[in-house]
Structure 1
Amino acid sequence: MRGIRDGALAPPPMARLIGFDCVVAEPGEVVMELRAEESLENLMPMLHGGAAATMLDTAMAAAAHTVLPADQASVTLDLKLNYLRPLTSASGLIRARGKVLHQGRTSLYVEGEARDEKGRLAVHAVGNFSIISVR
């Protein structure tokens, strides 16, 4: 994750498609940033919920990855999102943070939040991630 953050490695294809970047990568915590654009809005016009969900799922999975050894990875088992405030192209820089709350032998419990440029909480998420072998 630090390689992606530092530009030494390419970000995942989905991050490139939507346009978010990894700006923090520490053990158990990852932060992604996105400058919202009209192309990501629905007809309301608000940021499509799927864009926020994708950004949070990516940040949360990346946070899980930071606490695993090189021969393991994680996959999303479930993801629950609560949309608390609309995000729009006027929301400015959106920050999505994923943080590992608990690591078990076979799964991780991870929390995520997306905030607008003013720091207001827009989306809160929790998810379970299964630990898999990648030998």
Structure 2
Amino acid sequence: MSQTTPYETETRTFTWTTPGQVDLGALLEMTGLEQLQSMREGGMPHPPIMDTLGVTDLRPEAGRVVVEMPAAGFHYNPLGSVHGGVISTLLDTAAACAVHTTLAAGEFYTSVDLTVKFLRPVTIDSGLLTCEGTVIQRGRRTALAQAQLTDGAGKLVAHATSTCLIMRAGD
């Protein structure tokens, strides 16, 4: 028995570059900031998650990254607001990429933790979401970063802190 639903549906199509196509040796010869700048300028592909989420901008500078994404219906949870996982992904991206900008050639990192505080609901009416990540402290083996997510009106909607483990190629 076939069931029909009275609900309106939408379709979304997007493309991405398959990960792993970048020469890892050449990548490790660049600093983290150079890597992110190359992604921004189109010299290297950006990660597929950016296309999946609909990220529209990534602006890196030393110790800081700004990521932008308009809130959209495909980000929604069943209750009619942007899913906390989408918000967490934006916060994680900004905080971790801020750490990424501090990497010397031959270094890489991985996230150890992410602590998120949701401060107000996010909906399509929230408009362009802007997430700024900054490095709080960078050591030899770990880095602490934070990220703040604001809506189109500039209101703070979520905040996160993240610890990253710094490694050298060959460790």
The answer as to 2:145 corresponding to 1:106 is no
The answer as to 2:106 corresponding to 1:71 is yes
Q: CA deviation at 1:107?
A: 0.3
Name the SS for the 2:92 alignment partner.
Answer: helix
Q: Considering only aligned residues, what root-mean-square deviation do their CA atoms show, in Å?
A: 1.2
Alpha carbons 2:114, 2:161 under 8 Å: kept: yes
- TM-score normalised by L of structure 1: 0.94
Q: Which residue of 2 aligns with 1:115?
A: 150
Identity of aligned residues (%): 33
Change (3 A) 1:14 1:134: farther
Any idea what the Cα deviations from partners look like across 1:27-73, whole Å, max 9, x if unmatched? 00001000111010111111000001111111111110111112111
Number of aligned residue pairs: give it. 135
Which residue of 108, 119, 122 corresponds with 1:87? 122
Highest RCO, 1 vs 2 (Cα 8 Å, sep ≥ 6): 1
Residue ranges of structure 1 left out of the alignment (5+ in a row): none
Q: Which residue of 1 aligns with 2:62?
A: 27
Change (3 A) 1:58 1:134: farther
Q: Which residue of 1 aligns with 2:169?
A: 134
Residue ranges of structure 2 left out of the alignment (5+ in a row): 1-35
Q: Which residue of 2 aligns with 1:58?
A: 93
The answer as to 2:84 corresponding to 1:49 is yes
Match for 2:126: what amino acid?
Answer: S
Alpha carbons 1:108, 1:128 under 8 Å: kept: yes
Match for 2:54: what amino acid?
Answer: G
Name the SS for the 1:67 alignment partner.
Answer: coil
Which residue of 39, 42, 50 corresponds with 1:7? 42
Match for 2:80: what amino acid?
Answer: P
Richer in strand (by share): 1
Q: CA deviation at 1:3?
A: 1.7
Q: CA deviation at 1:127?
A: 0.9
Q: CA deviation at 1:118?
A: 0.6
Q: Which has the larger radius of gyration?
A: 2
